[in-house]
A and B are shown apart, each in its own frame.
Chain A
Amino acid sequence: ETGVTQSPTHLIKTRGQQVTLRCSSQSGHNTVSWYQQALGQGPQFIFQYYREEENGRGNFPPRFSGLQFPNYSSELNVNALELDDSALYLCASSSKGRGYGYTFGSGTRLTVV
């Protein structure tokens, strides 16, 4: 079975720009969760998508938005980038109701300058 694939692996953006990060979920999984991991910190829950709808959101402003597609892949969009948005963004796929069976991707390292 394929794992979780995230793209791109690294990118650099300028403050105020917009960015889209992509995640392909593991085969058989129908749920995607996104986490932000700042340097030296643990991952923080951004939101989760199930059946193409947001299914829970953490303490992140509306400029963080997402999508889930019929094939269960997902996008994370961040508008009006701020310097503090610099972080590793992790995507995790799972099958809802099967007990946190997360599979994490390797992440996208975003640097905002």
Chain B
Amino acid sequence: AQSVTQPDIHITVSEGASLELRCNYSYGATPYLFWYVQSPGQGLQLLLKYFSGDTLVQGIKGFEAEFKRSQSSFNLRKPSVHWSDAAEYFCAVGADFGNEKLTFGTGTRLTIIP
């Protein structure tokens, strides 16, 4: 069974600083990997996804993530954060296209300070 670990429960970053959110996954084959963002009281919005090919994936809102098979990681990065990036971020892994079930990590809450 697949699993996802997000080691950082809460991260605080100054506006304009760079950001990296960590994600480690466990799955026997090539996983499908996702990053979602959730604002308070809202559903989940997809930032980016990795299925195959180029291991550096570009997403919306200036985010990118890099798939590293050797480290079982899929870390999310942004070169310069904005106050509007404050939210909860979830990494998720999907096993196959059969029932397209996602397994989520416990999330990282991002706080932006001026």
Contact = CB atoms under 8 A, between A and B. Distances in A.
Contacts of B43: 4, 90, 92, 104-107
A31 interface: yes
Interface stretch (A12-20, A66-74, A77-85, A94-102): A94-102
A33 B105 contact: no
Interface of B: 4, 32, 34, 41-46, 49, 51, 90, 92, 94, 97-107
Nearest to A96: B100
A40 B106 CA distance: 7
A50 B90 CA distance: 25
Given A97-B97, A99-B51, A104-B45, 19 more contacts: A31-B100, A40-B107, A42-B4, A42-B90, A42-B106, A42-B107, A43-B90, A48-B99, A48-B101, A55-B99, A90-B43, A92-B43, A99-B49, A102-B46, A104-B43, A104-B44, A105-B43, A106-B42, A107-B42
Q: What 3 A-B pairs are tightest by C-beta distance, nearest first? A: A56-B99, A42-B104, A104-B43
Interface of A: 4, 31, 33, 35, 40-45, 48, 50, 55-56, 58, 90, 92, 94, 96-97, 99-100, 102, 104-107
